[in-house]
A and B are shown apart, each in its own frame.
Chain A
């Protein structure tokens, strides 16, 4: 660190933001070089919650390793599990029952809404509005209750297994989801009134943290960050998995590429997810919720890659198998890690206060970055 300080020019100031700063949503440590109040460079220092999940998974079986991924992006643990299950199924060439597919999509989309609710509340809190956080948590709590009923967990779900899902849904699942959908529809207007149309909030968001479509692609951004620059990137559309090709939904795009565009994309995504849930909730096919698999799974020799769209962007699982009981090498392409690499580019020339807004709209989850 002494070297880095020496490398800066005269009049520059180096500030450490984090690892214990509330706006970093965890243990992100940013090394920010400033000139006055203007940001010259942002350098992330990671590893405060690095558990080396990839190394651990090399000694876990194909059923066990999925559970460690719930601990990565803990706000969309269902979708992480889904990606891993897909990858193992690809290796085993396993066809899963239609009921399991629909349950998986329902859970994914509910997770996306819950994750975006938390993001929305936390973003508003970052830029100085405390009230929205409690409103968002009221809705998120309803989803968590639904999850708890069917999966037995509220955060680290561990619900999707190779071949389907672990348990069947509870008899009350459909009733409670419908209650939630009706409730959420009355509340989304409040969200807009409270935050989206707020002139102070808009001033904090508009023309802040701009990234062009070319740069966004080059920096490997995915999810709402890339779509806010006008590039189509939804894996659910590009390479549909588990029946996403059969549901109707739009991929919201914005052209502005700034914080407000990223905000709007996520707000629209919530509505799209809600629409998917509405389409499927009365159409859950009868039958098995899990395909019959052997007790011990063995993947054939080869390499398998699966992609899913989490609440933050493209999540990839890359398994190299040598034909054994455990993966030879496993790699998780986490959306947060790539989105973080654009932070430096977005915040150069901006003010220090804007950095918090930019970080908020990147929707960083630190365990997902550190793994």
Chain B
């Protein structure tokens, strides 16, 4: 499907979603609470079939966090980017999607470890790279990195 068709289809599924078409792919901007129901529909809808979650990441925007999911449909060959806004930075929470896309399990651990996003109903949320007693989340913008001496 092309961008316009995807846009119409997704706004039918979720009327509150807004769109950003400046990038290479269609960006769907939603609230974190709307993510799990939308994700289920994106995966199971016959005309969408987004079965391949190829990139999961979080971005710290200082006022809020946003989770960025890159989705591809391997059969239908279309791509969208879903950005879920997490307003509460101190208590960041979003539903886990590892039941829908199994790859999310490890990617969500990474986002939890480095960005401090809690994934609800994740089977085993733990520190992935860092030690269990590590304080803070290194990829956040307010994290003071004393070890890294590379500064531009």
Contacts and interface: CB of A to CB of B under 8 A. Distances in A.
Interface of A: 43-44, 46-47, 50, 52, 54-56, 59-61, 64, 90, 214-215, 217-220, 222, 231-233, 238, 302-305, 314, 316, 318, 320, 325-326, 328-329, 331, 333, 337-338, 340-342, 345, 370
Nearest to B152: A59
B148 A329 contact: no
A233 B69 CA distance: 19
A307 to B, nearest CB: 8
A63 to B, nearest CB: 11
A329 B59 contact: yes
A316 B145 CA distance: 26
Given A56-B148, A61-B152, A316-B55, A47 B106 contact: no
Contact of B145 (A43, A55, A222, A231): A55
Interface residues of B, number: 36
B54 interface: yes
Contacts of A314: 54
B128 A217 contact: no
Contacts of A220: 52-54, 101-103, 107
Interface in B61-111: 68, 70, 74, 77, 101-103, 105-107, 110
Contact of A46 (B25, B103, B128): B128
B34 interface: no
B24 interface: yes
20 contacts: A47-B129, A55-B139, A56-B148, A59-B148, A59-B152, A60-B152, A61-B152, A217-B74, A220-B52, A220-B102, A316-B70, A318-B55, A318-B70, A329-B139, A331-B55, A333-B55, A338-B54, A338-B103, A341-B105, A341-B106
B74 A231 contact: yes
Contact of A325 (B24, B59, B148, B152): B152
Contacts of B128: 46-47
B46 to A, nearest CB: 16
A338 B128 CA distance: 14
Contacts of B23: 302-305
B151 A59 contact: yes
Q: Which 9 A-B pairs have the closest CB atoms?
A: A220-B103, A47-B129, A50-B129, A341-B106, A331-B57, A333-B55, A218-B102, A219-B102, A329-B59
